[in-house]
Amino acid sequence: MKHILRKRIISFIFLVLLFFNFYNSFADDAEKILDFEDVSDEITKDEIIETATSDTSSLNLNGRSCIVLDRLSKNVLYGKNENSKVKMASTTKIMTATVILEKCDLNQTVEVSKKAANTGGSRLGLTTGAKITIRDLLYGLLLCSGNDAAVALAETAGGSVQGFSELMNSKAKELGLTHTHFESPHGLDSDEHYTTAYELAILSDYALKNQTFLQIVGTKTYTVTINGYPKTLSNTNELLGNLNGVYGIKTGFTNGANRCLVTACKRENMDVICVVLGCDTKKFRTTDSIKLIEYTFANYEYVNISEQIEQKFSQWKNENKKFFNIIKGVTSDVELKHSDLENPVIPILKNEIPSIEINIQINQNFDAPLYENTILGNIEVIANKNLISHCDILAANTIEKKTFYNYATDFFKNYYNTLNSATKLVL
């Protein structure tokens, strides 16, 4: 009897060990561990290329919300529910990395807590007491989307997950992200953990300005060191290295958020961020992203609005040198300038470029004194009957109001000119 009981206990222990071995073998892959159906939902490089070269005139997107943001002008080139609050899954880690990069020494070695080591979902594979540098934790955070790495980083910088979430929300406020709120460094589903496609794009644009962040999200494979042992990680971003111009940045998936992908892509001088949130499958998030990226580069072109404004403004000034009437002013010779453009170069749909108009609207009569930098009018840039840019027309000099001395001088000057004209007529 004892022999049989001993065999059953050994068999049970064996099954437990087998289960944990099975669990850990998938733990490095965010998509597989959370949804095994995604294993058969991979999209191949050939399919990516085929999608990229197909007709994207009819986008037919699956994602619940999406956006394409031009990094130069910050203009929205395409949007679908881009201002709706949604769950963001592991795209949260863009903010996690941003806070860490601004607050921590990346060469610092940390000891992993039990809480971090036991964090579920996608994992770097950390164990309690393991020692690893912050730099390697960042690679584990951004390449294989390690939730255990996220908690280890949060505890290091913020003392706890809650303390670090406060740092994340403080940074969001600093960046003007009024519809974004964080409750964790990893993005597992939580009712008060949300963002919008637009604000996630703005955050991504900010994060990519950090050269270390840029380098990490653009890395396909990287070997970290945990407790002195090497471990090679692969980037979960399926478009990196497979679609022309893609250089980052982050994938995401939870049951509440569905499949998410933030992509940065640059071709020649155009640089955009594409955010796709709430796709039903991994394949949909991939094809949605490709469609939006290809649509953008096929249909938009940068136009130097500043050059067109300068040309039209100079022409107007030459044709209207005696335009102003400065009431009670010592002169009506007003010098003009315009305010700086928020975006001197902006992307415009190619078929709308011929329709660009520069409209100058300016008032003629002003009371003295007229001070420098007074707004006199504005310049509007119109394309396809839509306002795409504008600036103010300003006075470039100050015109004082006439004094008694000025009026007296003018009186005698006019009297002298009248007398002089009358004398010439008599002679």
Q: Is 85 part of the annotated catalytic residue set?
A: no
- Of the candidates 87, 93, 282, 283, the residue annotated as catalytic is 93
Number of Cβ within a 10 Å radius of residue 333: 12
CA pair distance 168, 97, nearest whole angstrom: 10
Q: Is 145 part of the annotated catalytic residue set?
A: yes
Q: How far is CA 377 from CA 169, 313, 344, 356, 357, in A?
A: 40, 12, 19, 20, 17
Residue reference for tokens 């950390």: 126
- Of the candidates 65, 80, 87, 90, the residue annotated as catalytic is 90
Q: CB of 309 within 8 A of CB of 360?
A: no
Instruction: Report the SS3 class of residue 275.
Output: strand
CA pair distance 81, 14, nearest whole angstrom: 51
CA pair distance 328, 402, nearest whole angstrom: 6
The strand pair at 357-362 and 345-349 is best described as: unpaired
Q: Is 65 part of the annotated catalytic residue set?
A: no
Q: Which distant-in-sequence residues (6+ apart) come within 8 Å of 271 by Cβ? A: 70, 71, 72, 264, 265
Q: Which distant-in-sequence residues (6+ apart) come within 8 Å of 283 by Cβ? A: 41, 42, 43
- Of the candidates 73, 113, 145, 389, the residue annotated as catalytic is 145
- Classify residue 14 by its DSSP letter: H
Among all residues, which ones are annotated catalytic? 90, 93, 145
